[in-house]
Amino acid sequence: MRRVLFRGTLFVVVLAALWGLWEGYRWLWMREAWTWPFRVDSTSMPHLHSIFGALWSSARPGGVGPRLITILFHAALFTAKEAAVGFALGAVLGFVLGALLAHFQILARGFLPWVVASQTVPILVVAPMVVVWLNPKLPGRFQDWGAVAVIAAYLTFFPVTINTIRGLRSADRRALELMRSYAAGNWRILWKLRFPAALPYIFAALKISATASVVGAIIGELPSSIQDGLGGQIINYSQYYTTQPTGLWATNVVAAALGITFFLAVLITEKLVVRRAPENVA
Amino acid sequence: MSVVLIKDVTKRFGETTALQGIDLVVEPGEFVSLIGPSGCGKSTLLRIIGDLIQPTTGTATVNGKTARQARTDRDYGIVFQDAVLYDWRTVAKNIALPLELARWDRRRRAAKVKEMLELVELTGFDNHYPWQLSGGMQQRVSIARALSFDPALLLMDEPFGALDEMTRERLNMELLQIWEASGSTVVFVTHSIAEAVFLSTRVVVMSPRPGRISNMISIDLPQPRTATTREDAHFFELVTEVREALHLGHDLERAPA
Amino acid sequence: MSALGRRIVAWLPAVVVLVGVIALWEGLIRAFDVQAFLLPKPSEIARTLWDTRHELWTAGWFTFQEALGGFLLGSGLAILVALVLARWRILGMALLPFAIAANAIPIIAFAPITNTWFSPLNKSSKIVIAAILCFFPVLVNTLRGLTSVNPRALELMHSYAAGQAEIFRRVRIPTALPFIFTGLKVATVLAMIGAVVGEYFGGALNALGVLILTRARVFQFDEAWAGIVVACLLGLVLYVAVAIVERLTLRWLPSTSE
């Protein structure tokens, strides 16, 4: 109990310190009119309270229309849908691929280097081509956002594949021999021993992938001219940045919140599923 | 002057009392073994002598100085159950580490490392990395490292506990030869009765909950000890004596207060 | 078998897969006469790579400088901060939740903002994005390495009366090195992606990201793909460079020496 209280206090103190750092930097640089590394003014670094204030005021100047937070909340829900579908797709794909590569050494030798190399592809610049190519092939329900989910899946699968391989191979050798002594087949060994042993590794990867899927969904929206998600809002507010900088900042705050929400969702699932001593896995 | 002087030391970790009312004197040139079941605080006592932890009450004096001062003066070398070699350093550089910290110059370091490698019979392994050595060889490097700066006192915490019986007996012999050659004082933690009797000039028997010294047995086997010492009738008598002392301590613990 | 022979055998399956995939891709497009404007034949991409090599080289070098700058800045800062957080544990404990949260933020979304901090034409705007992307994986890995030291190794250093500075120099940092390199390798890929994606929100005309974007807009997909290949290759170059430094530095590890 005292520890929770201590941690809570610490959290608040650090939060206040970070706030102070931002405002202090702003104040000092503006007072001294320093221009390195960049000129500080209300456009480049708005007051934090005005960023959060913008969330609660009307999106359009003049005070008519819905609040910004309402608009961004709906955009976040849309992006969350893309990210969640992409996350599920990428996680399943990543696990199956990882299981195959872990089981067949020769496949791992042949494909693993290219799986790693695939991550150097700057997906955002490939995204428009994926969207243009994939969209006509998708059924009506998945039009537009389905292609974005595929991009999110692409960013998701990689950590899952790598950690599935490591996890499945991490099963204790003596435990394996014990299973063999029970005359268990390969499938039984996979589900009863290797998979549970791999779970902490897989969750470590899913935590990375959770964020990656949100990144994938946002950048997938940018070139697809999808207006309904956070990516569309980022494009939108970056055009009005010089007149209304708080809009873009507020959108980024919501995007950050979405990323953290996805991360926390995986974290909580992990706590529920892996009821063992936490292991030190990357 | 005594090498180690422990006066009325008590150590508590939170609610549990690890050590209670410990008094111990170790004279120069002695080989003292601390023996007892797990939880009797023998490793804790060793760490208090080495100033790696502080006693709750009481004092530990080494070479007439406080334990802290003795540590700062690098008066003792320590060996753990795992060799704790630094993976990124070769054998020679592992042995040279304490010498680097004591600011020895390169030439003196090289000469000393060569001497130590000869002592533990690892000449030619200078440039090997720890993972290339067997467990027994790693432990020999660890001993060479502890002895490299000629400490007056050698603290050993179950140094051969993780090795097989054959390697263990061979290293026991080597340790005795090193002890005789260097003339240092040794405090040795073990849970092997035969090892304690074979090596020591004195065995300190400890009992748990709370950890305390329940008996001290002088080992008057002739020096130097050889392979035949283990077959000596008197050796078996002493082993029996230590065993009975251990069981007595155990029964004391069980007896209603 | 010689060391070289073994290495060739180890890489053979990977080469077979690469050749197979390229042959299949080329073959399918030829055989079925696929309307291949989105995904051109590998041979066409290769020809375009050669024909526009000067332009691609200029653009690639420009973007590579941004990526390298961001990588050095972000990783360097991350290692320094990790050292401070490992030395004063209370700070580390206080800041870690924020580092984890920051790691879950889609940082690329900040590219439009750094573009307004500096001019979009300025390399600094991309360097900052690449640096922020590199910062967190390196920080988290370094911190984990610095704090996963065998407690016995620390006791040993105490027994030598070594100070905190000595302990960091001789024990904590060497222990952390393999972790640091893991973080750095992740960061190399992120740096290149950060630079290219940053350019997507506006950048100099001779930048790689801008080149790919403008070519794709006018449906010159072979040139766009050639640009993407260059981006991948440059990312790999940075990755391999770090991997080589890792091998040279971590000679003591059983897995890195033959």
Q: Which of A124, A214, A239, A242 to mutate to test the interface with C (most CBs of C within 10 A)?
A: A124
Taking residues A185-197, report their average pLDDT.
82
| Residues constituting chain A | 282
CB contact (8 A) between residue A262 and residue C209: no
Tell me the CA distances in angstroms from B87 to A111, A271, C42, one per residue in order. 32, 35, 47
Question: CA torsion, points A173, A176, A178, A183, in degrees to nearest 10?
Answer: -150
For the stretch C116-174, pLDDT in tens is 888 888 889 999 999 999 998 899 889 888 988 888 899 899 888 888 899 999 999 99
User: Longest Cα pair distance anywhere in chain B, in angstroms?
Assistant: 63
Sheet holding B153-157, edge to edge: B76-79, B153-157, B185-190, B31-35, B202-207, B212-218
Q: Which pLDDT score, from 0 to 100, does residue C36 have?
A: 57
Residue C176 tokens read as 């952390």
How many CB atoms are located within 10 Å of the residue C30 CB? 12
What is the spatial distance between Cα C151 and Cα B48, in angstroms, rounded to a whole number?
Answer: 16
Taking residues B52-69, report their average pLDDT.
88
Q: Which pLDDT score, from 0 to 100, does residue C90 have?
A: 85
Residue B58 tokens read as 């009481």
Q: Are B167 and B175 in contact (CB under 8 A)?
A: no
Task: With H, G, I as helix, E, B as strand and everything else as coil, classify residue A140.
Answer: helix
C-alpha A152, offset from chain centre? 9
A25-57 in b/e form (b: 16+ CB < 10 A) is: ebeebeeeeeeeebebeeebbbeeeebeebbee
Q: Which pLDDT score, from 0 to 100, does residue C18 have?
A: 85
| Residues constituting chain C | 258
A113 vs C230, higher pLDDT: C230
Q: From the list C155, C160, C166, which residue is nearest B74 (CB)?
A: C160
C-alpha B195, offset from chain centre? 12
Per the prediction, chain B carries an average pLDDT of: 86
Residue C189: its chain A contacts at CB < 8 A? 119-120
Task: With H, G, I as helix, E, B as strand and everything else as coil, classify residue C235.
Answer: helix
CB contact (8 A) between residue B97 and residue C170: yes
Contacts 24+ apart (CB under 8 A), C7-14: C10/A109, C11/A113, C12/A109, C13/A106, C13/A107, C13/A109, C13/A110, C14/A109, C14/A110, C14/A111, C14/A112, C14/A113, C14/A114
| C neighbours by CB contacts (3+ pairs under 8 Å) | A, B
pLDDT band, very low/low/confident/very high, at B170 (cuts 50, 70, 90): confident
Q: Is A79 on the interface with C (CB under 8 A)?
A: no
C-alpha B5, offset from chain centre? 16
At how many degrees (to 10) do helices A68-103 and A245-273 cross?
40
Chain B residue closest in CA terms to C249:
B88
CB contact (8 A) between residue B72 and residue C153: no
Residue B113 tokens read as 């490392």
pLDDT over 90, % of chain A: 31
Taking residues C59-83, report their average pLDDT.
95
How many CB atoms are located within 10 Å of the residue A242 CB? 9
Q: Are C206 and C58 in contact (CB under 8 A)?
A: yes
pLDDT band, very low/low/confident/very high, at C257 (cuts 50, 70, 90): very low
What is the spatial distance between Cα B208 and Cα B206, in angstroms, rounded to a whole number?
Answer: 7
Q: Which pLDDT score, from 0 to 100, does residue B187 have?
A: 93
Contacts 24+ apart (CB under 8 A), C35-39: C37/C219, C37/C221, C38/A129, C38/A132, C38/A133, C38/C221, C39/A129, C39/A133, C39/C221, C39/C225
Q: Which of C149, C150, C160, C249 to mutate to test the interface with B (most CBs of B within 10 A)?
A: C160
Tell me the CA distances in angstroms from B202 to A214, B196, B214, C44, one per residue in order. 69, 9, 14, 85
Nearest Cα of chain A lies from the Cα of C161 at a distance, in angstroms, of 30
Nearest Cα of chain B lies from the Cα of C215 at a distance, in angstroms, of 50
What is the spatial distance between Cα C253 and Cα C258, in angstroms, rounded to a whole number?
Answer: 10
- Pairing of the two strands B202-207 and B76-79: unpaired
What is the spatial distance between Cα C243 and Cα C237, in angstroms, rounded to a whole number?
Answer: 10
CB contact (8 A) between residue B71 and residue C155: no
Q: Which pLDDT score, from 0 to 100, does residue C234 have?
A: 92
Count Cβ atoms within 10 A of the Cβ of residue C143 and give its class: 0-12 exposed, 13-18 middle, 19 or more buried.
buried
Q: Which pLDDT score, from 0 to 100, does residue C1 have?
A: 56
Q: Which of B86, B94, B153 to mutate to test the interface with C (most CBs of C within 10 A)?
A: B86
Q: Is C152 on the interface with B (CB under 8 A)?
A: yes
With an 8 Å CB cutoff and a minimum of 3 pairs, decide whether chains B and C touch: yes
pLDDT band, very low/low/confident/very high, at B254 (cuts 50, 70, 90): low
What is the spatial distance between Cα A259 and Cα A261, in angstroms, rounded to a whole number?
Answer: 5
Residue B98: its chain C contacts at CB < 8 A? 160
CB contact (8 A) between residue B80 and residue C152: yes
| Residues constituting chain B | 257
Q: Is B104 on the interface with C (CB under 8 A)?
A: no
Q: Are A229 and A217 in contact (CB under 8 A)?
A: yes
Residue B73 tokens read as 């003066």
CB contact (8 A) between residue C124 and residue A255: no
CB contact (8 A) between residue A122 and residue C231: yes
Residue A154 tokens read as 């692409």
Q: Which pLDDT score, from 0 to 100, does residue A214 have?
A: 92
What is the spatial distance between Cα B232 and Cα B225, in angstroms, rounded to a whole number?
Answer: 11
Interface of A with C in 147-206 (CB under 8 A): none
Residue C236: its chain A contacts at CB < 8 A? 117, 120
Angle at C39 between CA C37 and CA C42, to 5 degrees: 115
Angle at A74 between CA A69 and CA A80, to 5 degrees: 120
Nearest Cα of chain C lies from the Cα of B227 at a distance, in angstroms, of 32
Q: Are B196 and B240 in contact (CB under 8 A)?
A: no
Task: With H, G, I as helix, E, B as strand and everything else as coil, classify residue C219.
Answer: coil
Q: Residue A115 pLDDT > 60, yes or no?
A: yes
Task: With H, G, I as helix, E, B as strand and everything else as coil, classify residue A70.
Answer: helix
Q: Which residue has the tokens 């109990």?
A: A1
Strand partners, B9: B22
Taking residues B54-69, report their average pLDDT.
87
Q: How many CB pairs under 8 A join A and C?
A: 145
How many CB atoms are located within 10 Å of the residue B12 CB? 14
Closest to C127 measured CA to CA, from C82, C83, C56, C75: C75
Strand partners, B66: B61
Q: Are B83 and B138 in contact (CB under 8 A)?
A: yes
What residues have CB less than 8 Å from A264, skipping those under 6 apart? none
For the stretch A49-97, pLDDT in tens is 999 988 888 877 666 778 888 999 999 999 999 999 999 999 999 999 9
Q: Which pLDDT score, from 0 to 100, does residue A61 have?
A: 63
Sheet holding B57-62, edge to edge: B16-26, B4-13, B57-62, B65-66
Taking residues A131-141, report their average pLDDT.
77
Q: Residue B179 pLDDT > 90, yes or no?
A: no
With an 8 Å CB cutoff and a minimum of 3 pairs, decide whether chains A and C touch: yes
Kindly state the DSSP code that residue B103 receives in the 8-state scheme.
Answer: T
Q: Residue C258 pLDDT > 60, yes or no?
A: no
What is the spatial distance between Cα A92 and Cα C84, in angstroms, rounded to a whole number?
Answer: 39
What is the spatial distance between Cα C258 and Cα C254, in angstroms, rounded to a whole number?
Answer: 8
Angle at B153 between CA B147 and CA B154, to 5 degrees: 55
A95 vs A114, higher pLDDT: A95
Chain C residue closest in CA terms to B84:
C153
C-alpha B9, offset from chain centre? 19
Question: CB-side exposure of A177: number of CA atoms within 13 Å?
Answer: 3
